[in-house]
């Protein structure tokens, strides 16, 4: 099994698997940023999301390609992302690792007496 | 009420420039485009101009990391013609300042002047030692280098600030080189250790090292570099006018 993904990496990858927001369905940086904020339920720094996208792409878990820009973005291209098969496997591994970690625990957890 | 997204509104130009500098080249257009789109579509209509600009600056700050700043610095050094010119002028001036100071130092080593004697002579209003060229020639030479460096840097870049920066860096770097070499000489030429002293022999000579020279020369560099920069800028303006006339 490769390195287990961090929580933030999982959140970003999950946005590409099943986006919930309308903008998130357009899998470019801005849409992913909106989706990650929605999914985590808090404000997220843009720099953190783009750094994570770069890292995931370097690991081969996602791929990207440029698409033409629109007037509202001054014609600057959009970089659209797609999850790679390795990314799906990494998410499955992360979920399995998390389940192993919590195996045998009664939910919700209580403080030991 | 949400107004229609504007395609004219722009975030602060300086923030966009810094953002693009911080981003790796492959993401420059796409990421700055994403933020511009968010700025125009959502942030500006909902928050107003001032808060929207603050939002953009906050986004910019989130891209500031050690890696991004390091990469931006390297990219700037590689690509920026202004930096290229500034760097060359500064390097040459630094070496010249160090060379002048070291020459003066060598003269002092060959023919030392007792600082106590010099002080007492000055108390007696006896400044005859300043008649010796080695007392004032280095000062004039360093001044000329700093003014010349400031002039050249400002002339080539058309910015007075570049002249100030070139001379300030050159004076500080040149004096650091000089002080470092003097420290090494002090250590290497230290006499045998004094058995009654706890201080290592070489370190006792640090009192002779003119460490205050670095900030003093740096301040002088700022002053003289600015003076040179004013002349350099004037030359640039005159030559540009001549070439267009």
State residue B191's pLDDT score: 61
The reported pTM is 0.54
* Residue B212, token pair as written in the block: 């205050």
Q: With an 8 Å Cβ cutoff, is A74 touching chain B?
A: yes
**Terminal CA-CA length for chain A:** 36
In this complex, the residue of A45, A50, A71 whose CB is nearest that of residue B31 is A50
Q: For residue A43, what is the nearest residue in chain B, using CA coordinates?
A: B59
* Residue B48, token pair as written in the block: 């107003």
Query: How close is the nearest chain A Cα to the Cα of B73, in Å?
Result: 18
Cα A113 to its chain centre, rounded Å, is 38
Query: What number is the ipTM of this complex?
Result: 0.86
Cis, bond preceding A108 (omega within 30 deg of 0): yes
Q: Judge whether A76 lies within some domain.
A: yes
Chain A residues touching B63 at Cβ < 8 A: 46-47, 50
> By residue range, what is the domain housing residue A41?
7-102
Task: For chain A, list residues with pLDDT below 50.
Answer: 1
How many separate domains does chain A show?
1
- CB pair distance less than 8 Å for B30 and A29: yes
Query: How close is the nearest chain B Cα to the Cα of A96, in Å?
Result: 32
Residue B162 in contact with residue B154, Cβ under 8 Å?
A: yes
Q: Judge whether A15 lies within some domain.
A: yes
Task: For chain B, list residues with pLDDT below 50.
Answer: 1-2, 201-207
State residue A87's pLDDT score: 93
Domain ranges, ordered by start, for chain B: 13-74, 80-244
Contacts of B89 (CB under 8 A, 6+ apart): B149, B152, B153, B156, B166, B170
Q: Judge whether A110 lies within some domain.
A: no
State residue A88's pLDDT score: 94
pLDDT tens across B156-184, in order?
A: 878 888 889 889 999 999 988 888 888 88
Q: Could you tell me the maximum CA-CA distance found in chain A, to the nearest angstrom?
A: 62
Query: Rounded distance, CA B60 to CA B205, Å?
Result: 50
State residue B2's pLDDT score: 47
Task: Tell which residue, B87, B241, B67, has the closest CA to residue B153.
Answer: B87
Phi/psi zone of residue B242: left (φ > 0), alpha (ψ -120 to 50 degrees), beta? alpha
């Amino acid at each position: 099994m490769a390195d287990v993904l961090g929580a933030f990496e999982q959140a970003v990858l999950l946005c590409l698997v099943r986006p919930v927001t309308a903008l998130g369905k357009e899998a470019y940086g801005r849409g992913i940023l909106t989706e990650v904020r929605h999914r985590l339920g808090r404000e997220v720094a843009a720099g953190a999301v783009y750094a994570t996208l770069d890292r995931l792409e370097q690991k081969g878990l996602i791929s990207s390609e440029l698409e033409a820009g629109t007037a509202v973005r001054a014609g600057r291209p959009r970089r659209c992302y797609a999850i790679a098969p390795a990314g799906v496997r990494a998410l499955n591994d992360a979920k399995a690792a998390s389940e192993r970690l919590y195996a045998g625990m009664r939910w919700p957890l209580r403080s030991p007496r | 009420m949400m107004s229609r997204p504007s395609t004219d509104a722009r975030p602060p130009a300086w923030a966009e420039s810094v953002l693009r500098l911080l981003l790796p080249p492959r993401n420059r257009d796409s990421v700055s485009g994403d933020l511009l789109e968010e700025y125009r579509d959502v942030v500006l209509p909902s928050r107003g101009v001032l808060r929207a600009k603050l939002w953009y600056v906050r986004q910019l700050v989130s891209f500031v990391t050690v890696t991004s700043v390091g990469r931006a610095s390297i990219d700037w050094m590689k690509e920026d013609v202004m930096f290229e010119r500034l760097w060359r002028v500064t390097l040459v001036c630094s070496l010249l300042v160090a060379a002048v100071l070291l020459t003066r130092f060598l003269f002092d080593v060959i023919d030392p002047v007792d600082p106590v004697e010099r002080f007492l002579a000055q108390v007696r209003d006896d400044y005859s030692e300043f008649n010796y060229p080695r007392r004032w020639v280095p000062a004039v030479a360093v001044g000329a280098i700093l003014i010349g460096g400031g002039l050249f840097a400002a002339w080539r870049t058309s910015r007075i600030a570049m002249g100030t920066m070139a001379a300030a860096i050159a004076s500080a770097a040149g004096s650091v080189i000089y002080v470092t070499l003097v420290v090494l000489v002090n250590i290497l030429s230290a006499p045998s250790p004094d058995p009654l002293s706890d201080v290592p022999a070489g370190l006792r000579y640090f009192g002779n090292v003119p460490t205050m020279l670095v900030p003093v020369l740096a301040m002088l560099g700022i002053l003289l570099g600015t003076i040179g920069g004013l002349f350099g800028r004037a030359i640039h303006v005159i030559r540009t006018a001549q070439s267009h006339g």
